[in-house]
């Protein structure tokens, strides 16, 4: 049916935007992150993501980002 796909895509984006951040759990996330930053925004490549996590992750892959988070945690452990 003509017009169905854009409506479905819009609703998927609204659901992502209003869902919890896939990285920190903040709800609502109010943003969308591409899991693979070199690929397009597709349902398979898009996750709900808060602004802070999205800015921190930047263009890194998820494994790169998580590895850096582990470095930060290990380096700052004695501060707590």
Using CA atoms, how far apart are residues 52 and 24, in angstroms rounded to an integer?
Answer: 9
Report the domain count for the chain: 1
How far CA 10 is from CA of 5, 25, 27, 61, 78, in Å, comes to: 9, 23, 19, 25, 46
pTM value is: 0.75
Per-residue tens of pLDDT for the chain, all 80 residues: 344 467 677 667 778 888 999 999 999 989 889 888 888 888 888 899 999 999 999 888 889 999 999 999 999 998 86
pLDDT of residue 42: 84
Using CA atoms, how far apart are residues 67 and 49, in angstroms rounded to an integer?
Answer: 18
Domain that holds residue 35: 4-79
pLDDT of residue 3: 47
pLDDT of residue 2: 45
């Amino acid at each position: 049916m003509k017009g169905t796909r854009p409506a479905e895509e819009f609703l998927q984006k609204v659901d992502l935007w209003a869902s919890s951040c896939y990285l920190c759990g903040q709800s609502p996330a109010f943003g969308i992150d591409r899991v693979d930053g070199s690929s397009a925004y597709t349902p398979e490549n898009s996750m709900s993501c808060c602004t802070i996590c999205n800015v921190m992750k930047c263009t890194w892959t998820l494994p790169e980002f998580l590895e850096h988070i582990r470095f930060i945690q290990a380096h700052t452990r004695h501060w707590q």
